[in-house]
Amino acid sequence: MRSRFLTLSFAVMFVAAACGGSGSSGAPSTEGTGGESGAPPAESENTFDPASISGDVTLGQWESSPAEGTALKGAIDAFAAAYPNIKVKQTTIPGDYRAAMVTKFGASDVPDLFYVNAEYAPEWMSNQFLLPLDDYIQRQGFDTSKFFPDYASIFQQDGVTYGLPKDGNTIAMAVNTDLVPNPPTTMDELVQVAQGLKGNSKIKAPMCLNPSLDRGLAFLYAQGGSLLSDDGSTGTIDSTESKAAVQWYMDLFKNGLGETNTQLGDGWCGEALGKGDVAIAFEGGWLKGAMDAFPDIKWKFVEMPTGSSGSKVTINYTAAYSIGTDSKNKDQAWVLMQYLTGPEGMAKWTSGGIAVPSRSDVPVPAGFEVIVAGAAYAKPGSGFMPGYPDVLKAFGDEFLKQITDKTYDAGPVVTATKSKIDEVLSAQ
Amino acid sequence: MTSTAASRGRAAPARRIGARQEALAGYALIAVPMLLFLVLNIGSIVYAAFISLWKWNVRLGPQKFLGLDNYVNAINDPIFRSAVTNTVYYTLIWVPLTMALGLFLAVIVNQKIRGRTFFRGAFYFPAIASSAAITTIWIFIMNPFGLFNQVRTALGLNPLFALLGYGPNQDWLGDYHTAMNGVIILNAWTTSGTFMIFYLAALSAIPHEVYEAAAIDGAGAWDTFRRITFPLLRPGHFFVATVGVIGGLQLFDQAVMIGNVDGAPANSLMTLVLYLYNAAFKRLQYGYAAAVGVVLFLIIFTATLIQRRIFEGKQATA
């Protein structure tokens, strides 16, 4: 009997633990079943003067490195000097930021201002976690025209703005300048250069390549392929051009021109470049800080090679500041937000050498010229459609199978991705 | 005979009052934990079952009644099905393997050998070390250029591995054919110490007289183990198997460390708990996630009942 009871309680405890997240959701709200998001408050006729606001504001953020913390502190200190009536309380959320924040939304206990990564922005917007900002933008006359358009668009849904990009990154080509003194400017040249490096005993493979759309999307666009139709209503990954582009990318693996970071035995492609396992990798601005750990390797960023599409293209990754629907000090949060995403605050934040500006009117920090140049023509690398993580996974799972089994057929990859896109779009 | 019956009769009322008081005291003592158990555990299960019938927004609550749609959609999702397959496969291989290892270690360190306290500690050590740290080390060891591949190359074992189709730089945890087995071996190693402790406790419950009788009858070491130790450990087997199956069906942290929350490579490390995590925190489909939780509960519950039946049945015929 005792062991049966023990057994039952084990089972019960586990499921309780597994369902803890859902159990924490509050009572049914009176806010209705959605759809009315974005209605501006009644007092929208008044103008908004940030200097007139006083009080406390809590800021929730992740922190990837101590240097990032220092850079943010610099920006917050500058804010405190400019707006002495508002006191900022920082709360760094350790570990799984997304999961921690989702439980806070469920408990209606959210920081006043917080980071939102592009990756999950569509879900957070459609679940009404985030406050529409159009009213504040309009009343204050805040100039949003200097944000690179494809950073800003990620945090808009049905014409409503829910976040302003705090910074942004684009994917560029990073080359070992000893091994690649003349970096390729076209995809054809890239293949030639890589072929010339094949068999070079100094490296394990010419390129470190990502076996999914995290980087593959940039190559797909460059080679004239696409994921979605221009209006975003249908999947086009199964078109002839897209399929050819996926096959072209996969052939880089097939022909031994590139390997994945795990095949190379590295944690990520930046490490592969730093350890000298490859001569070429495709990364964003975060690579710069990471390469400080490998002072012996001479390298530089160059813009993504141009493919058969004929025009320059790459993909971007960004994150925004947003205010929660349930945030308590919304006005104070907006004041902090318009400063940090405005030209002055963003210049402070990006002068820390960690982040890259998401606005075109902020000075480019040294070493990030190529990354910012890409922002003018980069397409969103995530957050541009609801359910994109599932599409990415469908593509990546099948792509990795093809590489692992050495079958190198784009067909199943395209089919799996297309059916996931259809599924995600029909669920909207 | 009559006098004892009479005395029993006389004493009965007093004893009944005593028993009632004792029972009351007992209920009073368990009242608080029982209440917490009912509210926090049973209550959560019932609430989760309720949520599983809805399209549920974590901030706004119920949005739309779906009936059993969440369950139907889960069963129709190939990733959910591979999560079930992976989880069951893991449990079916990992539990017997770890039980065998744990029993082996327990029998060894139960001998009167020199330094057995050291060995007990050493075998148990992986269980108390952080699973994140051990998993990270495991990732380094199983890396294509890691210790495992280097050692087998140095030992000249590569022709043997080539027969099985593995090259000298096989990416054990990055290849979707081998990743799950890599996790099974890792966890068999780290958990065998815990199972050893359970088995040591069960071993100490076997009376010495049985062994002495066996020795007098001239039983050898293997016969003693096969005919005495192993069958008499049955309550131990049940406990270890039950704890093992429940733990196995909850596989999460090692899978996340190795294959991140996507269950990479190619869904080979997608487990039920990981699937639930994705539904809840990535897709924000709380009703759906609750449905997966209920399915997981039913699987664990059924598995435990079946185990109970098996071990109970054997005990009855023993």
Query: Is the separation of the CB atoms in A151 and A381 below 8 Å?
Result: no
- Taking an 8 Å cut-off on Cβ atoms, the answer to whether B42 and A13 are in contact is no
Pick the CATH number of A171-316+385-426 from 3.80.10.10, 3.40.190.10, 3.20.20.10, 3.40.630.10: 3.40.190.10
3-state secondary structure chain B: CHHHHHHHHHHHHHHHHHHHHHHHHHHHHHHHHHHHHHHHHHHHHHHHHHHCCEEEECCCEEEEECCCHHHHHHHHCHHHHHHHHHHHHHHHHHHHHHHHHHHHHHHHHCCCCCCHHHHHHHHHHHHHCCHHHHHHHHHHHHCCCCHHHHHHHHCCCHHHHHHCCCCCCCCCCCCCCCHHHHHHHHHHHHHHHHHHHHHHHHHHCCCHHHHHHHHHCCCCHHHHHHHHHHHHCHHHHHHHHHHHHHHHCCCCHHHHHHHCCCCCCCCCCCCHHHHHHHHHHHCCCHHHHHHHHHHHHHHHHHHHHHHHHHHHHHHHHC
pLDDT of A27 > 80? The answer is no
Residues of chain A with C-beta less than 8 angstroms from the C-beta of B258: none
A window 150-189, beta carbon within 8 A of B: none
- Ordered structural domains, chain B, with CATH: 2-51 (no CATH), 70-317 (1.10.3720.10)
**pLDDT number for residue B13:** 58
Q: What is the CA radius of gyration of chain A?
A: 23
- pTM for the whole thing? 0.86
Token digits of residue B81: 């099905």
Residue at B120: amino acid letter: R
A window 243-262, beta carbon within 8 A of B: 260, 262
Q: What is the mean pLDDT of residues A88-107?
A: 94
CB proximity A214 to B under 8 Å: no
- Taking an 8 Å cut-off on Cβ atoms, the answer to whether A15 and B293 are in contact is yes
Mean of pLDDT over chain A: 90
d(CA B70, CA B294): 11
pLDDT in tens, A342-359: 999 999 999 988 899 999
CB proximity A67 to B under 8 Å: no
- Taking an 8 Å cut-off on Cβ atoms, the answer to whether B282 and A264 are in contact is no
Give me the CATH topology for the region A46-169+317-380.
D-Maltodextrin-Binding Protein; domain 2 (3.40.190)
**pLDDT number for residue B129:** 87
More confident residue, A47 or A87: A87
What are the DSSP E strand ranges found in A243-380? Answer: 258-259, 280-283, 299-302, 314-323, 378-380
Residues of chain A with C-beta less than 8 angstroms from the C-beta of B62: 28
pLDDT in tens, B70-114: 999 999 999 999 999 999 999 999 999 999 999 999 999 988 888
Instruction: Give alpha helix (H) positions in A299-409.
Output: 330-340, 343-350, 369-375, 388-404
| Domain locations along chain A | 46-169+317-380, 171-316+385-426
Identical topology for domains A46-169+317-380 and A171-316+385-426? yes
CB proximity A388 to B under 8 Å: no
Q: State the best of A3, A5, A6, A19 to mutate against chain B, taking most chain B CBs within 10 Å.
A: A19
**pLDDT number for residue A200:** 95
Residue at A189: amino acid letter: E
More confident residue, A419 or B264: A419
Token digits of residue B224: 């003693």
- Taking an 8 Å cut-off on Cβ atoms, the answer to whether A400 and B266 are in contact is yes
pLDDT in tens, A202-260: 999 999 999 999 999 999 999 999 999 999 999 999 999 999 999 999 999 999 999 99
Query: Is the separation of the CB atoms in A320 and A125 below 8 Å?
Result: no
**pLDDT number for residue A21:** 37
Kindly provide the ipTM of the predicted complex, given to two decimals.
0.84
**Nearest residue in A to B237, CA atom:** A3
Residues of chain B with pLDDT under 50: 1-9, 316-318
**pLDDT number for residue B139:** 94
**pLDDT number for residue B308:** 87
CB proximity A382 to B under 8 Å: no
